[in-house]
Amino acid sequence: MDWSLLGCGAGGHVTFAPDEPALRGRFGYGTRDGQAWRCLRCGTFVIGEPTASGPAGSAPRVRRGREVRSALILRIFAVERFIRALIFAALAVAIWRFSASRLSLEESYDQALPPLKTLLRDLGFSIEHSKVLGLINKAFTTDPRILAYLAIGCAAYAAVEVIEGVGLWLLKRWGEYFAMIATSVGLPFEIYDLTNKVTALRAVAFAINLGLVLYLVLTKRLFGARGGKEAYEARLRSESILDAEIAALAAEGHGEPEQQAEPGRHARPAPAGEPASATEPASATEPAAAGGPASEAPDADEPDVTALPPLPRRHPAP
């Protein structure tokens, strides 16, 4: 799958018109339908006005290839964080309201319990051995101050999840660090829960959090892993179309800007029988690009000496 094309299909092309003449010749060309500019993400030439223009240093940073896939994965984790935040925020509100009106809820619980017991007994369920209802009954007898602390803790956890989700959704470096640290802190508690009892929900939550931590450390090279930030930035530069074109211009040599603006010019191959050192750049044979006296067109009245047949060799008289 071409993730760069998928990214352009979802978010549109990101075309760029550099001010440097050499780069401008590589990123744009004229067509019958108008000027076309090259997309920095997928490399396709798109007809129309460029998305951005200016010096090469001001070009937008565009994610390509694996980085597009990575952005999709991180935003999936961000959505999961937002869902957690909603759940714990709702739980915090419920606990807070319960702590404020504990007596009325306890009375309602006692009134609803006898008919509920009868219904469950008819279904073959023993209410005395229900852990869920036992926890509910214990919660009704809990100190209101403890319930308030629980509500504050749930609200704080929801806020942490919101910060994680925002950082991951915006694809920020600080968000990756924050999500990795906050998730790592909760892993020991999840392991402790799994040692007490393994459930599908706990196992899935632990797998998601562990997967996020490993993914961030390995792919984003956090805390110096796999070369750290420098290696990560170097990989991004190696995948950049703009940086690749700048490197290609540097590899071709440091000639005149007019020569660098046309990427199709290279050294003319030497004719058969001539050494390689006798080769000349193709621009030297093109009058429009060389400039100076060599660039002047020959007079139409003067014969083309290159088209005349060679003169016979004259031998000295005996």
| Distance, CA of 37 to CA of 247 (rounded, Å) | 19
Tokens of 92: 């915090």
Picking from 260, 267, 265, the residue whose alpha carbon sits closest to that of residue 246 is 260
pLDDT in tens, the chain (318 residues): 788 888 898 889 999 999 998 889 889 988 898 999 999 999 899 999 999 999 988 888 888 888 999 999 999 999 999 999 999 999 888 878 777 665 555 555 555 556 656 665 665 555 555 555 556 566 656 667 777 888 898 899 999 999 999 999 999 999 999 999 999 998 998 898 888 888 888 888 899 999 999 999 999 999 988 888 888 888 888 888 988 888 888 888 744 444 444 443 333 344 344 444 433 434 333 333 333 443 344 444 444 444 444 444 444 444
- Who's near 36: CB < 8 A, 6+ residues apart? 28, 29, 30, 45, 46, 47, 48
Tokens of 159: 């806020």
Residue 265, Cβ density class (10 Å: 0-12 exposed, 13-18 middle, ≥19 buried): middle
Tokens of 229: 């930030």
- This prediction's pTM: 0.63
Contact (CB, 8 A) for 44 and 38: yes
